[in-house]
Chains A and B, each alone.
Chain A
Amino acid sequence: MRVNGIASPLPEDPRTLLSDHLRHQLRLTGTHVGCEHGVCGCCTVLLDGKPVRSCLLLAVQAADHDVTTIEGLAPDTAALHPIQQAFHEAHALQCGFCTPGFVLAVKGLLDEHPDPTDEQIQEGISGNLCRCTGYANIRKAVRLAAAAR
């Protein structure tokens, strides 16, 4: 598989979850695991550009695919990705544990719908849970990021 654009060997143990592989073997700890069974969305990464739950995938299922984690979203270290910038500015995070998953879910949403309707925003991010913000500023961040494109 390629992780954030770099070719990366598959784990030896075929039972390894993609989330565990990213966190433990590759030390990409920006991918968080909240519920451990595909409900909370904290572990969302992009598989060939589409948001997926890395805790519901085996690492071997990502063979020959492109995986993008939160660490690989911004094109370089000089600036935040516009979605990251929008979350920062809009105060769309508090504890920040759900944030990487949300940012990548929003990436998938905006790639599909560059100027999303309220319904499309709802559809795009209602699979991710946040306990801190009450979601209001996350909605603002999506709008801000869409406008910045």
Chain B
Amino acid sequence: MADLKVVGQPLPKADAAAKVIGAAVYADDIVLPRMLHSKLLRSPHPHARILSVDASAARRIPGVKGVLTGQDLPIRFGILPVSQDERALESEKVRYVGDPVAAVAAVDEETAAAAAEAIRVEYEVLEPVLSIEDALRQPGDERIHASRSLPANLHRLQSYEFGDLAAGWARAAHVREDLFFFQGNTHLPMEQHSAVGQWVDGRLTVWSSTQVVHYVHRALSKVLELPMNKIRVIGAAHGGGFGGKTDPFAHEIVVAKLAMVTGRPVKCTLTREEVFYAHRGRHPVLMWVKTGVDEEGRITAMHFRSALDGGAYGSYGAASVFYTGTLQTVTYDIPAYKFEGCRVFTNKPPCGPKRGHGTPQPRFALELHLEKLAEEIGMDAVELKRRNFMQPFTRAVNWLRVTSCGLEECAEKVLAASGYRTRERRPGRGQGFAISAYMSGAGTAIYWNGMPHSEVQLKLDRTGVTAYCGAMDIGQGSDAVIAQIVAEELGIQAADVRLVTADTDSTPIDLGSYSSRVTFMAGNAALEAARKMRALLDAAVDARAGVPFLEACELAETKWGALSTAGSYTPPRIGGPFKGSGVGPSPAYSYSAAVVDVDADARTGIVRVNKVWIAHDIGRAINPLLVIGQIEGSVYMALGEALMEEQTFRRQLGLHKWPSMLEYKSPTFVDTPEIESFLVETVDPEGPYGAKEAGQGPLLPVIPALNLAVHDALGVWIDETPVTPEKVLKALKDGRVGPKMFPAVPWPEPIIVEPPARDDMRVGAELEAAFPSA
């Protein structure tokens, strides 16, 4: 692969020209003839039974063309098959302030809003459940989801033991326990969610600012009871997701139903306030961790507990619980590992996947915990961490298979560049170091199906080549990656590849732009399709060299007619032989290391970030400009979570404290330091040209590195996020800020899992054949 011509080039994004002139069409920019506007009526109560809904006054308002209540959309949906617990409009009870109960379509937005407010809903208010501790107790009135089999307001409960824990503890020379809390926060995409529905001739079309057209397609089909071939979902230009537009949402179903009812196109754009209620953001997580190390500082055993505050519905939560426990073993080599995790329902907007999905919280906990452990035994923390780094081509104790792994190189790059080892030690100035790993796409689909995770089709005729790909470019530049791969194989420029993406009618299946999966999975599919097309083109020109591309295309079409090829990607079976092994496996893991340098003012508590050094094992950078863009964006988003961002609620009322951009603080230009990025290219054996992910992994080490830098500067421990000035001052007074106890959880008996051999690299059928009959 020494002579790559297009892959590896730092080319600007495919859609950047349209975006700098304001020509990109986002969902809210779409206007169709006779289009109506829709507004949702949302619950003002965190927890209440709906006694009656009277929409008669709304229906009488001139300009109102359609009104929906819960009776019109009774079928439940949810992103995971195990959590079909949402309704587009609730008819029985509401579970958070902002839960939708009715919807209106009218000739303009103002009329729709007035009509929604004219709908009378009679509620019986119930006692809200607003914290993890409350959710674990028997509720005063009733449970949030009465049909669940688990006690109190528990949503999920997991317990696993991998390897010989007893032997691990016995071997430990030192054991330490710590408690941590990671506060919830939200994605805050610049674009509000928006969708347009159109119903023509018995066929439904929905344009949406979604990250996954396929999942919206599935939810619409289920709730509207329409076959999938009667529904088309198209991804509009995307104004930012970060995981927040990965679930199907009420407004997407409502515009579809209202279009069917009224026979006119219907648009619904959420207000900024509503975006905070749609949420699906970072779970608040309480964590307890206990680790044993031997005399050399090598980990002998680890026990990790997490409790996730899930909000009102399941969303991705069943997976989120696993993610708080599963990736510890691919960063550090842990020979014996116990994981207990639970998720509870609370009367708050549902949490879900935000950049890093369930892994920034344990990453934060583990990096601080190991630093404390090193301090306690008088060992250099970087040295202790390095002695435990995961090694390439190793199978972890929980069966996760690590292939390429550039952890050592990443660490060395940032340690050297930052001068961490020789940093000046004085009060108020500090540096922190941390590492991370992340998946290049989930190895298992979120719902059972045997289809490829991604397919790419190429069409070629005398006009050139077009790539059809289901992945949605959410800004990260996935379109450019697909174009560069196709161009590389066909020997043309990336700009010569036309793209049709994220349209369920014209593009084949792709499981969406989340889980850092597009480069790896759609990239591999594009590579296969392009190699097949290259072979056809070579045959068309009888292997003559130097035939111009369009001439070759015409020769090919003359010979065989218009050509099409397809490529697909299905990750190999990687997970071990146990229930729950589907969450965590990935065909490849990216690795990152970061050093954060801060000034922390003991007088004011203000922490100022001077610089961040970050190295990322990308496998291979198909487009280094876009990769570094993802890294810089991740660092920025991490600093927001580390320093200021929090989604919190008023006690009793369950009201969001700051559902606006003014009050929900996020970093501005002034708050964002210089970021120096290093790419480490380990060339993964299974990634396209060796590529791995870039969108999520680089966020992970920055949050703990920031807290460790504050510790380095002031000697205090802030064992929770975000590090606000108030907490810094409190920590200076008390020595530590953080949770004091982990509540009692009725943990089940653990599932005992026999670990694999460390060098067992088998996957797929070969691995399955080796499983015992169970």
Q: Do A and B come from one complex?
A: yes
A-side residues, CB < 8 A to B, are 23, 27-32, 34-37, 39-40, 42, 69-71, 73-74, 80, 84-85, 87-89, 91, 93-100, 103, 122, 125-139
Is the CB of B188 closer than 8 A to any CB of chain A?
yes
Q: A73-B21, A131-B240 are in contact. List 13 more A-B contacts (CB 8 A).
A: A34-B661, A37-B661, A80-B17, A91-B13, A91-B16, A93-B13, A96-B16, A96-B239, A130-B190, A131-B187, A134-B672, A136-B672, A139-B669
Q: How far is the CA of A98 from the CA of B13 in the complex (A)?
A: 16
**Are the C-beta atoms of A134 and B666 separated by less than 8 Å?**
no
Instruction: List A contacts of B10 (CB < 8 A).
Output: 91
Q: How far is the CA of A29 from the CA of B22 in the complex (A)?
A: 7
**Are the C-beta atoms of B635 and A134 separated by less than 8 Å?**
yes
Instruction: List B contacts of A97 (CB < 8 A).
Output: 26, 189-191, 239-240
Interface residues of B, count at CB 8 A: 54
Given the contacts A131-B188, A134-B635, A80 and B21 also touching, CB distance less than 8 Å: yes
Most buried by B among A23, A29, A100, A137: A29
Instruction: List B contacts of A127 (CB < 8 A).
Output: 668
Is the CB of B558 closer than 8 A to any CB of chain A?
no
Instruction: List B contacts of A88 (CB < 8 A).
Output: 12, 16-17, 20
Q: How far is the CA of A95 from the CA of B22 in the complex (A)?
A: 12
**Are the C-beta atoms of A94 and B272 separated by less than 8 Å?**
no
Instruction: List B contacts of A100 (CB < 8 A).
Output: 20, 22
**Are the C-beta atoms of B626 and A91 separated by less than 8 Å?**
yes
**Are the C-beta atoms of A32 and B239 separated by less than 8 Å?**
yes
- By DSSP majority rule, is chain A's interface helix, strand, loop, or mixed? loop
One of A69, A87, A126 near B668 (C-beta < 8 A)? A126
Instruction: List A contacts of B661 (CB < 8 A).
Output: 34-35, 37, 39-40, 129
Most buried by A among B16, B636, B660: B16
- Encoded as 1 (CB less than 8 Å from any A CB) or 0, chain B from 414 to 440 comes to 000000000000000000000000000
Q: How far is the CA of A28 from the CA of B726 in the complex (A)?
A: 44
**Are the C-beta atoms of A138 and B632 separated by less than 8 Å?**
no
**How many Å from the CB of A111 to the closest CB on chain B?**
18
Instruction: List B contacts of A135 (CB < 8 A).
Output: 636, 669, 672
Closest chain A residue to B192, Cβ basis: A34
One of A34, A80, A94, A99 near B629 (C-beta < 8 A)? A94
Instruction: List B contacts of A134 (CB < 8 A).
Output: 632-637, 672, 675
Instruction: List A contacts of B188 (CB < 8 A).
Output: 131
Q: How far is the CA of A28 from the CA of B31 in the complex (A)?
A: 12
Is the CB of B477 closer than 8 A to any CB of chain A?
yes
Instruction: List B contacts of A136 (CB < 8 A).
Output: 632, 672, 674-675
Within 8 A of A (CB), among B82-120: none
Instruction: List B contacts of A73 (CB < 8 A).
Output: 21
Instruction: List A contacts of B241 (CB < 8 A).
Output: 95
Is the CB of B505 closer than 8 A to any CB of chain A?
no
**Are the C-beta atoms of A29 and B271 separated by less than 8 Å?**
no
**How many Å from the CB of B60 to the closest CB on chain A?**
23
**Are the C-beta atoms of A95 and B25 separated by less than 8 Å?**
no
Instruction: List B contacts of A137 (CB < 8 A).
Output: 629, 632
> Can you identify 12 A-B contacts, CB atoms within 8 angstroms?
A30-B21, A32-B191, A32-B239, A70-B22, A85-B20, A88-B20, A91-B12, A91-B13, A95-B191, A95-B240, A130-B190, A136-B675
